[in-house]
Amino acid sequence: MLGNNVNFVYDILMSSDLRTVACFVGRTGLGQPVLSRALNKIAQHTGRLATHRQGRSIVYAITRSVRSLPHAIPVHDVSPEGSASLMGTLTSLEGCGYLVVAANGRS
């Protein structure tokens, strides 16, 4: 057991869409420092916390395994000549599908 706040935040991450700290504050009533500590504990304990910067905010989600594939799968564009270039990554998430991040960092 990691603590009530950590379990509460983890349960929200497991069942919801991508979340920002501001969304967590509004939904849980917990303060930003408490949420940051909970997110750090989740990352350390599970190794499955995905973070991505969207504009000025950082979004958080829990990754999920799909068969034996890695959590972040590189996506390439293959030209007719056969050369491949990285387009971005595809990350499978609990509760909400996938996070697609282009090679330039946009999601």
Q: Which domains does the chain have, with CATH numbers?
A: 4-102 (1.10.10.10)
Provide the pLDDT for residue 78. Answer: 95
Q: Which of 19, 66, 52 is nearest to 38 (CA)?
A: 19
10-residue mean pLDDT profile of the chain (107 residues): values are: 81 82 85 90 91 85 86 91 93 84 79
Provide the pLDDT for residue 88. Answer: 93
Provide the pLDDT for residue 4. Answer: 85
Provide the pLDDT for residue 1. Answer: 47
Provide the pLDDT for residue 86. Answer: 94
Name the pTM for this structure.
Answer: 0.76
Cα 69 to Cα 5, 6, 73: the distances in Å are: 31, 27, 8
